[in-house]
Structure 1
């Protein structure tokens, strides 16, 4: 639900796209509207306070203070500030407690981690334990999770297992995106910015009534950045790291009465740009430092780096108020087509060509490949019925169905041959059908104590086939078929106790479930291996989580905080052993993994014009399996784990989960200076995460350094907040950190986003 942090502060962002429409509005109507907003702002300023934040983490609209779990909500203005540099969804990493997001596919394929639990699998059919729900519809395929952030009402992150109400792969938590809805009153916004590297960001929305009972909203986004990295192998000139991305959302809301409404959502996305830029031997051996003389704006590769993606989706949400109950229906359809090709070795040539014919550093062999998603279709349907204020007892129950069909193509190319011809082709196909029934209820045991509980029965079945049609180093592999399936019962039980009017205490225990996963990347596999080593299956994982905490709203609603302590145990955690000296990716189950930690959310109004937010988390994870081994790096790295019984393997018992920082901190501050003609403000934001392991094994070189990034925004708004101009900077200290790597060939790494700055104008009407 839409919220704001100041009663006196209105949403500020709007601009270029809407400017022409704004000029067409009747002058008198705009003047009257401005006077009304001025009076509202004046009245609000007399009692500046934090407004109530409402969330839908329990599928009902509730005060965030009353929900018995750790939740962080990010409202629209903060999202707009964080995304002002044109960054994709990864800008949320570190901006919420216990959250990390990374990608080896760039803008197309984000991987989410909550409380250290995620999945490093880069395959296009990979499942993740973090569920992303966009406008009520689960986005299962990892490519779908990269849909751009624009014209949103709010983002919510609910940490810990959410299986009873969000049943698709949510043992780590759920991230919910809610788009701004159509409104009957005509209005909208527009925003345009220009910045470093020729970056252009355009976004806007227009909404209004089509009839007395029907309204519509059109939201658009266009982002582009020029190439700014020079590939020195093809002469001077910038060739890489540019992109062009467009997205749109069209919604129709039909509400003929208070008893019924229907919301239709059509959305699309198109991305054309550079694939993730891998850089050979940028890690100094024996350390995790960048090599001396490293230049971010240069690379030397002899392969192709390109990426394109097209996505379309639609969903229909229906609501019937039946008096004592309300019935909801959510129907979703998603499809995406993508292709990403990259120079995986990150350099040019190969050592067997002789001295001077390879680099930078040692390139044992060339590697250039591509992954495509030529076929994808996801259908989902949910029916849910809920009680309408039954007094001390309220409940909801429903059924859920899911059907997904995908094909994955993998290509290999002979980089050293004229024309770089294709020399390998492998395929995967997967059909996934799942259904579930669920119910939850809450009961006011006393005026101060409320109990909640939920159950969900899930049934998940997959049909998977993989084959290698053409192998660069080996013969074809005949189709291998496998059909994993499982059923499970997830549950949760919680209590909220109102210790005082300002403080709530809560406790929660929850069980989460993730169905079996399949991995069948056969391109470089050894055809002599048995089929169960060529196509690997990770059996179901289950999570038992314990959490307790408090939520408080103090100092006359000028300070809001949430504190949570948690401990979870994962039985049979699904892990992805990526790369290594075997140059394959395979799925494994460990015996157990555990996580424990503490999280803090804080928001404080320090004076009428200074708002500060802060988040902090400590997350300690550990893999527990004395016998589990994985292949170590093929690159010359310094491994810290003991050797396994099989040559080339190491034991990972006691290691932390990959991409799981122990510490995540963030802080924002906004200080406004009222002027006679408007307001000048300063906004800064900072996010920190501690070191991370890139892989399951521990090594010196493939340990990511701590990352601290900051943003700064200087703005001036006038005409009661209708217009704004701002200077902004992202990663203002120009921190350069390796955030991921490839370990099968050489010391390949890829980096965080560079420093950017720009100028933005926005307007609303």
Structure 2
């Protein structure tokens, strides 16, 4: 009772204040030991043997027994490398790439499979989960890494167990659970740009059967971006997140878990770096506003040097976002009989987003966008897990209901802010609203089985049937709060009215329904050559659902949705441990038959010109190989690294708009966008005792990727190279050194991108300029950690 009272007291204080090697290995999480549970007993037992344990197949297994390419990293290693969220996983998972979009939506890809979409409602080909519960919208994943036990990056389609929209893979954050004893911890970091981060957790029993864990983190940083044309700065970080976990075990067969979490982001939107003038409409400017804008953009001093800090934006405008998110999730585990479990996962999440965006990346007010969205999602999974000795199986079903309501408020003064009516009459306009509301209902049933033919040979198979109905409402509407809006070109409309032409010739809100179904499947043969060596070969089919884009559609015909994409992957691999586990090897080769890939291209939308638009690429292929090694050559030294080779190609003919003029180009034969051929990571750490009570360590890591192109159809530039849209390759170096005082205290100094490498991860063309989205400059600081 004393511990309970102490826990409650500290929890109240923390709530008042709040308004972490590749494995789950020997000692558990740096955040504190977790209590055994119905679904973690096997994990506990295997952890004590020193084996690597993952839940990639929704059950606890040794990593070397799972026929899937996986990167698993503990919370301790995540903390040492300062890996905060999904965007940082490039540092530990070769083959995974992150790119930022101009509107802030993250673009995740694995082995060249990814989807670029600026929409707030975008769903990635790499789905992010916390304890197997999906965060369906990519924009909402930034708080998933709070207080975790480990993260698992699963490569290749994961549709049979994790559902559709995981054609590239899945990221599963395994959360640190409530403990059976009172534990607490705090973490603090101070660094360059006045970075000041603070967080912590408290965990323990409330009663004999009820345990709780409360965690939070606040991240702050001053402006790091500088205007290239004046004395002005931007780029503040202001992010707060928290989570409450409750575990209740009323009986030995029943366990209930509750997860209540949320975050708020008041950071500045990242400013892009304009590199050149490229109007979306090639017609000559004819109105006072378009003439003035074109004149200013032609004379603008576009950057020619590489810099991570220089950018530009409209002066006198606040770019502070106002985004919030919360989620309530639950899990029920019930032991129906020996080796037979019922698992139920439920989740409801809600978010509201508000992002001001300078879409041209200059100090000229050519295009300003205020993106707003309301997002809701409910998911329910029920499954039964059984084990009869040689046969293990999972059968279950899913229901999902997702809602998104996005409005992009645009203020336009650039090349397409005019409508030529005749040779002598040109009508101006200064803005519009683009509406996109989607309601998605998803039903699925699935099954997965493992049959051990012999003690060495196992056959695995899985299948999922998925049925989806997507209802869409959207239009281009007048912006009533601007002097002109669209009213000069549509006389007689009421302020704010939809002006999209419908099938019957009237103007209004367009409604449509997209119905899709598919069957994902997986099969593999797995051979255990010995206790530490697995050979496997398999094939997997996965799907990502179709969707509707957010565009200024004058006609309902422009709202044609992209259809679902599919990936058929063939993979063979080996996992082994050598020299008494001093060497750990994972290697794989793969081939992906990629159909109807969804990506952002260009579409000619008269009279607006070339605009970003979601398209399907009918056929492409991706093949490659990867190798991951962990070496422990001497006591105290660990070297881990990996390299991935990806060769992608668009097959056949794909006609897309040419961003350099108003014709179309054939993108056939090009590589897939944002798909570097080579990626590599290396991390090394040497730890040694300083005294009986103090341990020291030195470490460093490198992250490398080769060049790629940001979009298809962009390589027919004036010089024929398309270098305007090239993302150069780069190598980043991080360093760290620290002291550990037993298992309770740690102090570390760190440097990230210590060479100050100027790099960018995307090139965008939203409006009359093309712009780079730059990486982060060199940073350094000190972090403190205490566990009580």
TM-score for both structures, normalised by structure 2: 0.82
Q: 1:280 aligns with which of 274, 285, 289?
A: 274
Q: 2:518 aligns with which of 477, 481, 488?
A: 488
Distance 2:689 2:413 in 1: 61
Q: 2:236 aligns with which of 242, 247, 263?
A: 242
Q: 2:566 aligns with which of 542, 548, 551?
A: 542
Alpha-carbon deviations, 1:304-348, whole Å to 9, x = none?
333221000010000001114100000001111111111111112
Alpha-carbon contact 1:717-1:724 (below 8 Å) kept: yes
Q: 1:702 aligns with which of 725, 739, 750?
A: 725
Alpha-carbon contact 1:613-1:669 (below 8 Å) kept: yes
224-233 or 728-737, which deviates more: 224-233
Alpha-carbon contact 1:245-1:270 (below 8 Å) kept: yes
Alpha-carbon deviation of 1:105? Answer: 5.1
Q: In the TM superposition, what are the counterparts of 1:405-444 in structure 2 within 5 Å?
A: 405-413=403-411, 423-444=431-452
Alpha-carbon deviation of 1:448? Answer: 0.6
Distance 2:216 2:411 in 1: 37
Distance 1:434 1:152 in 2: 29
511-520 or 403-412, which deviates more: 511-520
Q: 1:309 aligns with which of 317, 323, 329?
A: 323
Alpha-carbon contact 1:536-1:586 (below 8 Å) kept: no
Q: In the TM superposition, what are the counterparts of 1:555-634 in structure 2 within 5 Å?
A: 555-578=579-602, 582-626=609-653, 628-634=654-660
2:355 corresponding residue in structure 1: 340
Alpha-carbon contact 1:439-1:456 (below 8 Å) kept: yes
Query: How has the CA–CA distance of structure 1 residues 283 and 751 changed in structure 2, closer, same or farther, with 3 Å as cutoff?
Result: farther
Query: What's the secondary structure of 2:509's corresponding residue?
Result: strand
Distance 2:254 2:364 in 1: 65
Higher relative contact order (CA 8 A, sep 6+): 1
1:26 corresponding residue in structure 2: none
Alpha-carbon deviation of 1:738? Answer: 2.4
Q: 1:711 aligns with which of 731, 734, 740?
A: 734
Q: 1:665 aligns with which of 666, 680, 683?
A: 680
Q: State the Cα RMSD in Å.
A: 2.6
Query: What's the secondary structure of 1:701's corresponding residue?
Result: helix
2:224 corresponding residue in structure 1: 228
Alpha-carbon deviations, 1:82-122, whole Å to 9, x = none?
326xx54311125202100111258x532110110111111
Distance 2:25 2:116 in 1: 42
Give unpaired runs (5+ residues) of structure 2.
1-19, 34-47, 279-301, 418-428, 480-484, 491-498, 501-507, 716-721
Alpha-carbon deviations, 1:122-172, whole Å to 9, x = none?
112223222211222111112122325221111111111111111131121
Distance 1:709 1:282 in 2: 26
Distance 1:5 1:462 in 2: 39
2:766 pairs with 1:741: no
115-124 or 465-474, which deviates more: 465-474
Query: How has the CA–CA distance of structure 1 residues 552 and 205 changed in structure 2, closer, same or farther, with 3 Å as cutoff?
Result: same
Query: What's the secondary structure of 2:451's corresponding residue?
Result: strand
1:287 corresponding residue in structure 2: none
Alpha-carbon deviation of 1:506? Answer: 0.4
2:401 pairs with 1:403: yes
Distance 2:175 2:388 in 1: 30
Alpha-carbon contact 1:89-1:110 (below 8 Å) kept: no
Distance 2:404 2:779 in 1: 37
Distance 2:623 2:304 in 1: 38
Alpha-carbon contact 2:469-2:516 (below 8 Å) kept: yes
Give unpaired runs (5+ residues) of structure 1.
15-32, 34-48, 285-289, 351-365, 636-646
Alpha-carbon contact 2:64-2:532 (below 8 Å) kept: no
How many residues are aligned here?
A: 683
Distance 1:161 1:296 in 2: 34
Distance 1:272 1:611 in 2: 39
Query: What's the secondary structure of 1:65's corresponding residue?
Result: helix
Query: How has the CA–CA distance of structure 1 residues 294 and 545 changed in structure 2, closer, same or farther, with 3 Å as cutoff?
Result: closer
Alpha-carbon deviation of 1:257? Answer: 2.7
Query: What's the secondary structure of 1:256's corresponding residue?
Result: coil
Query: What's the secondary structure of 1:585's corresponding residue?
Result: strand
Q: 2:465 aligns with which of 452, 457, 463?
A: 457
Alpha-carbon deviation of 1:299? Answer: 3.7
Query: How has the CA–CA distance of structure 1 residues 520 and 291 changed in structure 2, closer, same or farther, with 3 Å as cutoff?
Result: closer
Alpha-carbon deviation of 1:629? Answer: 1.2
Query: What's the secondary structure of 2:88's corresponding residue?
Result: helix
2:105 pairs with 1:93: no
